[in-house]
Amino acid sequence: MTFRARTMKVSAVLSLSALALAACGEAPEEDGGNAEASDFTGCIVSDEGGFQDRSFNQNSYEGLKAAEEKLGITVQQAESQAETDFTPNLNSMVQNGCDLTVSVGFMLADATKTAAEENPDMHFATVDDNSIQLDNVKPITYNTAEAAFLAGYVAAGSSESGKVATYGGLDIPTVTVFMDGFSDGVDYWNEQKDDDVELLGWDKKAQDGTFVGNFSDTAAAKTTTQNFINEGADVIMPVAGQAATGTADAVVDANADGREDEVTFVWVDADGYDTLSEDQKKYQLTSVLKGLSTSVEDVVTTAAEGEFDNTPYVGTLENGGVGIAEFHDQEDRVGKDVASEVEDIKQKIIDGEIKVESENSPE
Amino acid sequence: MTTPTTNSPTVNAAEDLETDGPAWIGSALQPVLAILAALVLGGLLIAATDERVMKAASYFFSRPSDTLSAGWSAASAAYQAMFYGAVFNPNGNSFARQIYPFTETLTVATPLILAGLGVAVAFRAGLFNIGAQGQILMGATLAAYVGFTWSMPLPLHLLLVVLAGAIGGGVWGGVVGLLKARTGAHEVILTIMLNYIAVNLLAYLLTRPSFLREGSTNPISPPVAESAQFPLLLGAPFRLHWGFVLAVAATVFVWWLLNRSTTGFELRAVGSNPRAAKTAGINVTKGFVIVMILAGALAGLAGVAQISGTEGSLSAGVAASFGFDAITVALLGRSTPLGTFLAGVLYGGFRAGAVTMQTMTGTNVDIVLVVQSLIVLFIALPPLFTAARGRRSRRDKSKTTRSAGAVKEAQA
């Protein structure tokens, strides 16, 4: 008892002194701010995911922050905890005199439309939604099917088992557009190579497939992935936001059993190689990139220069708004042949020789 | 977790509020102290997580005043912004803009009050209703369906929507009462499970074409007809709608029911001691069913407030976390109608103020959640201490003046 009390005292003193040491730095000289001033205010409202979702909210936010650094504009942000926060958050932005408000996600479309109609002198940009046709609203959408097509081709080309899989978070167009493209990419491989790689988890014709029901349930994502692996799939593409880390975990587990044909995954939205852990990212085949950060930055920059327009922005392979990431550690598995074929296909899609069609693509 | 059983401190304290004069002070003082303590701790948290404070703390010993002043300014700025966003904004350029925040507070409070009342009446009958979330969702679903499929003139349509919401929630709650009365299944388990069923049922419905907008597969329903929406109470730009009046009316109704009606008396009797109530000839099982239908209907009205008031269409997140916040609202309000109403307004203020707080000062909104949770913790703790001390020494019990229950004993 006394011994324990003493050790506790000692450790308390130690941790206190550590704290004190950390607080021993020099006081800085007082100085004023030195950021370049711009009287433009750029604002952003997230959907329920919040700005730390490692997915589209975060990427859009980073785009705005990049514009802040470059142009010295003022930035205001509001994170929505629930759908009921959308309207209050947008109203707050309007009242704070935001010049441009970026609303992230189609869920905000209704609220943004109302706010834009009531405030025709303020500008809005809607990420992942193009349902609003107003002079002061610029829709930002992505034809991710084109990029997912390339990923589907790579996946089919590097599958040993002849089975690849994909699943989504929710059955919504911004998700299924990935799955459509992936499916077409697999089909294209089969057509070109006279192969019969099978896709699990999505039936493009029936528009029906596997979904975990949200973008946060990592456990469900892991189980879903394990099921796919048990069915023989060796490349899995989760389109499930945060939940997708469940797939990375399941893939690491599967490979830990020392199997011959390595299981890999395809990340989406941003390059998973930048955010995933060391043991996870080595199994990343590639990532389907959605250039949210750059396009938000572009739109904010244009608006800050006083040249806002309401022409819809659609990210494509051609304008670099979508694409696929490098193969990183999986370069050998993909092989030089497939890699160069992918470049060809990319060019053909840009030229319109290969048509990637998805009913879920933005128009 | 403390499961309020039939003689839980919460319910007892609630009784005190009305029956005993001097005890009233004790039981009203505790929530106020809990709120203050939670705000102070929340302020410390805001200060501790502020970037400027962290920077200043790295040279704390060479200039401690920097850390302290940065901490103070971070916390006070955040709370000031919260006040501007929830009560009154002196920077508004018109009177309407200045009082806008308070109307916003009342708007957000509307579903919280209604659902809170639902939880409170169940508390009073000794039932721990965690199912408000599911009941709101089902009320909202039925209300929305009536709202966007039927077309009718204004007063009739709105009335039917309100009725549909009450029925949707009432059925969802009534099932719990029925199962409990018939099989003895615990209402906590039942309500939790029914929450899941409601969430997934709604998710399923939002994939069916009859619940979606034409030509769209996004999981959001068509907007309800204009005739199915609550008229605005103060006109544009205020969002405050007639649903708030409904919430006031519901509060008065629940007060009348609990304190002035035979049914209410029976419910409270069942709540304080079901065996005694049974001996006295009260039909306990019927009481369970009635109170759960009522609780569900009130929560269902909260769903109507969302559909016909602020949101205008049905989606998976239409109920936010109101059903769970309602439990804390009822707890803070001591399960009395007036207390629940006031607690609902307070929580509405927190939510409304949080918006301004994060846009003006960049403080994370989750701080508000922490403050709300701390309040519940501070309310739940004292009775726990009292119980522990009471076990240690029964004689000392009369000295523990912190608990409302003990205050009553001291008075006796």
Q: Is the pLDDT of residue B160 over 50?
A: yes
The topology (CATH level 3) of A144-291+316-351 is Rossmann fold (3.40.50)
Per-residue pLDDT, A130 = 86
User: For residue A335, what are its two tokens?
Assistant: 């092989």
pLDDT tens-digit readout, B343-372: 999 999 999 999 888 888 888 888 888 888
- Across residues B206-235, what is the average pLDDT? 89
Per-residue pLDDT, B60 = 81
Tell me A69's DSSP state.
Answer: H
Asked if residue A325 lies in contact with residue A148, where contact means CB atoms within 8 angstroms, the answer is no
- Which among A19-28, B178-187, B377-386, B401-410 has the top mean pLDDT? B178-187
Of B395 and B277, the structure prediction assigns the larger pLDDT to B277
Asked if residue A313 lies in contact with residue A363, where contact means CB atoms within 8 angstroms, the answer is no
Note which residues in 354-383 of chain B have CB less than 8 A from chain A.
355-356, 358-360, 362, 364-365, 369
Per-residue pLDDT, B21 = 46
- Across residues B4-22, what is the average pLDDT? 44
Portion of chain B with pLDDT greater than 70, in percent: 88
- Across residues B235-245, what is the average pLDDT? 91
Contact between chains at B59 and A25 (C-beta distance less than 8 A): yes
Mean pLDDT by 10 residues, chain A (363 residues): 54 57 58 59 90 83 93 91 90 90 91 93 92 93 94 95 94 90 96 94 93 88 95 94 90 85 91 89 93 92 92 92 92 91 94 88 77
pLDDT classification of B9: cutoffs 50, 70, 90: very low
- Per CB-CB distance under 8 Å, the chain A contacts of B318 are 83-84
Q: What are phi and psi of A255, to 5 degrees?
A: -75, -25
Instruction: Please name the residues in contact with A206: beta carbons below 8 A apart, sequence gap of 6 or more.
Output: none
Per-residue pLDDT, B380 = 77
Contact between chains at A88 and B318 (C-beta distance less than 8 A): no
For the structural domain made of A41-141, what CATH number should be given? 3.40.50.2300
Contact between chains at A84 and B217 (C-beta distance less than 8 A): no
Per-residue pLDDT, B19 = 44
- Across residues B13-17, what is the average pLDDT? 42
Q: Is the pLDDT of residue B3 over 50?
A: no
Helix B21-49 to helix B404-411 angle (10° resolution) is 150
Asked if residue B141 lies in contact with residue B311, where contact means CB atoms within 8 angstroms, the answer is no
Rounded Cα–Cα distance for residues A129 and A116 (Å): 14
Nearest CA in chain A to B311: A84
CA A160 to chain centre: 28
ipTM of the complex: 0.76
pLDDT tens-digit readout, B296-349: 999 999 999 999 999 999 998 899 899 999 999 999 998 999 999 999 999 999
Beta bridge partners of A124: A101, A137
Per-residue pLDDT, B24 = 59
pLDDT classification of B96: cutoffs 50, 70, 90: confident
Nearest CA in chain B to A170: B219
Q: Is the pLDDT of residue B121 over 50?
A: yes
Q: Is the pLDDT of residue B383 over 80?
A: no
Note which residues in 318-337 of chain B have CB less than 8 A from chain A.
318, 320-322
Interface of A with B (CB under 8 A): 20, 22-28, 43, 48, 76-79, 81-85, 87-89, 92-93, 95-96, 106-107, 110, 118, 170-173, 213, 360
Q: Is the pLDDT of residue B255 over 70?
A: yes
- Across residues B7-29, what is the average pLDDT? 51
What pTM did the predictor assign? 0.80
Nearest CA in chain A to B201: A213
Rounded Cα–Cα distance for residues B230 and A218 (Å): 40
Per-residue pLDDT, A36 = 52
Contact between chains at A84 and B239 (C-beta distance less than 8 A): no
| Pick from B57, B352, B364: CB nearest A88 | B352
Find the radius of gyration of the CA atoms of chain A. 24
Q: Is the pLDDT of residue B249 over 80?
A: yes
Rounded Cα–Cα distance for residues B221 and B315 (Å): 6
- Per CB-CB distance under 8 Å, the chain A contacts of B203 are 213
Per-residue pLDDT, B11 = 45
- Per CB-CB distance under 8 Å, the chain A contacts of B71 are none
Size of interface A-B (CB pairs under 8 A): 93
CA distance A327 to chain B (A): 33
| Pick from A27, A93, A173: CB nearest B63 | A27
Nearest CA in chain B to A27: B59
Q: Amino acid identity, residue A47?
A: D
Q: Is the pLDDT of residue B61 over 90?
A: no
**DSSP output for B105-167:** HHHHHHHHHHHHHHHHHHHHTT----THHHHHHHHHHHHHHHHHH----HHHHHHHHHHHHHH
Per-residue pLDDT, B393 = 58
Per-residue pLDDT, B397 = 44
Instruction: Please name the residues in contact with B26: beta carbons below 8 A apart, sequence gap of 6 or more.
Output: B16, B401, B404, B407, B408
Q: Is the pLDDT of residue B399 over 50?
A: no
| Pick from B58, B218, B237: CB nearest A106 | B218
Rounded Cα–Cα distance for residues B125 and B132 (Å): 16
- Per CB-CB distance under 8 Å, the chain A contacts of B312 are 110
